[in-house]
């Protein structure tokens, strides 16, 4: 359920994103946030399980984090978001606070690779929206943090198919997963964990 406060923050961030795109702001300086329909999809996933533990790799200014945290709030879950850019971290905190979602979302500032190697937490849902060249390495670190039934959602697999076709193919060939490419907005790879990773 999205209250008026959350809707207002999302609408502002959507307008800011449109303005940056129209002004030709370079991609690396923009929030590069998900499309609103993808946000609603993330909300639905996060709202579907009581006590859900969500890991977001690439929090940016908090747009997708707000969708995820609002979903997690429905049945009492939480979101752990990873972001390394200092300016975006400050915006993330301000936007989450404005949306009234601080109780359901936490930001870890710093290198995602370091955080993933050090964390002992397990998660029910991982949302991957980072640098496309890093998807495979980030997935490899996040995969052991998921138990059977866990989900991984990777964004931009169609809009950046030149860089991510191999990612989708690898997930679909993995017998410990069932994975499908969803033609929603910029393309999502939805992977469901079927079994634990085999011991090395």
Assigned domain for 198 exists: no
Assigned domain for 29 exists: no
CATH of the domain at 140: 3.40.50.150
Q: Report pLDDT digits (tens) over 37-82.
A: 999 999 999 999 999 999 999 999 999 999 999 999 999 999 999 9
What integer is the mean pLDDT of 147-157? 97
Would you call 117 exposed, middle or buried from its count of C-beta atoms within 10 A (0-12, 13-18, 19+)? exposed
Assigned domain for 168 exists: yes
pTM metric for this prediction: 0.94
Assigned domain for 28 exists: no
Angle at 30 between CA 26 and CA 34, to 5 degrees: 125
CB 171 within 8 A of CB 157: no
pLDDT band at 21 (very low <50, low <70, confident <90, very high): confident
Strand 53-57 versus strand 123-128 pairing type: parallel
Residue matched to tokens 């860089």: 163
199 pLDDT exceeds 60?
no
pLDDT band at 28 (very low <50, low <70, confident <90, very high): confident
CB 57 within 8 A of CB 127: yes
The structure tokens listed for 61 are 């200014």
Assigned domain for 17 exists: yes
Assigned domain for 12 exists: yes
Helix 86-98 to helix 4-22 angle (10° resolution) is 150
Assigned domain for 75 exists: yes
Distance CA 155, CA 189 (A): 7
The structure tokens listed for 68 are 């995820």
**Nearest in space to 79 (alpha carbons), one of 52, 99, 97:** 52
Which residue range is the domain that position 177 belongs to?
Answer: 4-22+34-193
Assigned domain for 164 exists: yes
Residue matched to tokens 């995969």: 143
Angle at 60 between CA 18 and CA 106, to 5 degrees: 135
Residue matched to tokens 């850019």: 85
Work out how many domains the chain is built from and give that number: 1
CB 109 within 8 A of CB 88: no
Give percent of the chain with pLDDT exceeding 90: 90
User: Which residues are CB-neighbours of 100 under 8 A, at least 6 positions away?
Assistant: 3, 5, 6
Q: Report pLDDT digits (tens) over 114-125.
A: 999 999 999 999
């Amino acid at each position: 359920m999205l209250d008026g406060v959350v809707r207002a923050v999302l609408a502002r961030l959507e307008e800011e994103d449109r303005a940056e795109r129209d002004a030709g702001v370079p991609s690396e300086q923009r929030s590069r946030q998900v499309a609103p329909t993808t946000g609603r999809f993330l909300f639905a996933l996060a709202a579907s399980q009581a006590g859900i533990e969500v890991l977001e790799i690439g929090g940016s200014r908090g747009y997708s984090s707000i969708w995820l945290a609002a979903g997690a709030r429905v049945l009492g879950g939480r979101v752990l978001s990873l972001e390394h850019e200092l300016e975006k971290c400050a915006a993330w905190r301000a936007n989450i606070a404005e949306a009234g979602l601080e109780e359901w979302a936490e930001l870890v500032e710093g290198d995602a690779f370091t955080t993933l190697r050090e964390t002992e937490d397990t998660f029910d849902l991982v949302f991957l929206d980072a640098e496309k060249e890093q998807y495979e390495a980030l997935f490899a670190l996040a995969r052991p943090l998921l138990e059977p039934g866990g989900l991984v959602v990777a964004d931009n697999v169609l809009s950046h198919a030149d860089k991510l076709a191999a990612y989708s193919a690898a997930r679909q060939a993995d017998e410990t997963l069932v994975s499908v490419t969803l033609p929603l907005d910029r393309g999502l790879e939805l992977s469901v964990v079927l079994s634990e990773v085999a011991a090395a």
